[in-house]
A and B are shown apart, each in its own frame.
Chain A
Amino acid sequence: EPEVTQTPSHQVTQMGQEVILRCVPISNHLYFYWYRQILGQKVEFLVSFYNNEISEKSEIFDDQFSVERPDGSNFTLKIRSTKLEDSAMYFCASPHGGQIMNTEAFFGQGTRLTVV
């Protein structure tokens, strides 16, 4: 089964610090997505990325957030100044072909971010 790899698996950071979450999506996939899940809550869309550009973002994805594909393979989510409410599981998703709503999406194992 294709695999999406995320690092780190768990990150603890102090409020106000910057964090970078990393994802290696499935090769040859063109669309990439970040989702988050606050403990006990539903999975929420953050941002989609296509052709090295943001194609869509949610209300959650404010100026504190940014995404990049720095080297053509890794896909990063940066939170500039973390808040307590940013504590959540962050999932990277790589759909099988095309846009995520049309096909099976493979999720990474997630990064659990804890802001203290």
Chain B
Amino acid sequence: RKEVEQDPGPFNVPEGATVAFNCTYSNSASQSFFWYRQDCRKEPKLLMSVYSSGNEDGRFTAQLNRASQYISLLIRDSKLSDSATYLCVVGTSGGSQGNLIFGKGTKLSVKP
């Protein structure tokens, strides 16, 4: 059973496209939710936290559905610089799984 599961990808889209990433998590006691971005062979960097009410940051919109244990990320008007792997990350407290559980990521390539 996968703790955090994401679309396998990759997504190849033209500039200006709208892209949606989906994620599900298995632990109903999870407390916090994030989208991280990881460039090739680099460290993960926080893109945005995800709240139950949904939140938006410029071209990026994140949503959380606790009942369905589902998290999404929408990128509008995609740019070449958005090309990266997007990691769905869930925070839990305690247990041998650690505090942040990462999905495998979905790779996005934005083409001119």
Contacts and interface: CB of A to CB of B under 8 A. Distances in A.
Interface residues of B, number: 25
Interface in A32-53: 33, 35, 41-46, 48
Interface string B41-73: 111111001000000000000000000000000
Contacts, number: 64
Contact of B98 (A41, A48, A89, A102): A48
Given A41-B104, A42-B105, A105 B46 contact: yes
B44 A43 contact: yes
B28 interface: no
Instruction: Please indicate which of the listed interface residues B91, B96, B99, B102 has the most CB atoms of chain A within 10 Å of its own CB.
Output: B99
Interface centre among A58, A91, A105, A108 (most CB of B within 10 A): A105
Nearest to A59: B96
B100 interface: yes
A56 B99 contact: yes
Given A45-B100, A91-B43, 20 more contacts: A33-B98, A33-B99, A42-B102, A42-B104, A43-B102, A45-B98, A46-B98, A48-B99, A56-B94, A56-B99, A101-B92, A101-B93, A101-B100, A104-B49, A105-B100, A107-B43, A107-B44, A107-B45, A109-B42, A109-B43
Interface of B: 31-32, 41-46, 49, 87, 91-105
Nearest to A89: B41
Contacts of B32: 101-102
Contacts of A104: 46, 49
30 contacts: A33-B98, A33-B99, A33-B100, A42-B87, A42-B104, A43-B102, A44-B102, A45-B98, A45-B100, A46-B98, A56-B95, A58-B97, A58-B98, A89-B41, A91-B43, A91-B44, A99-B93, A99-B99, A100-B91, A100-B99, A100-B100, A101-B32, A101-B92, A101-B93, A102-B32, A105-B100, A107-B43, A107-B44, A108-B43, A112-B41
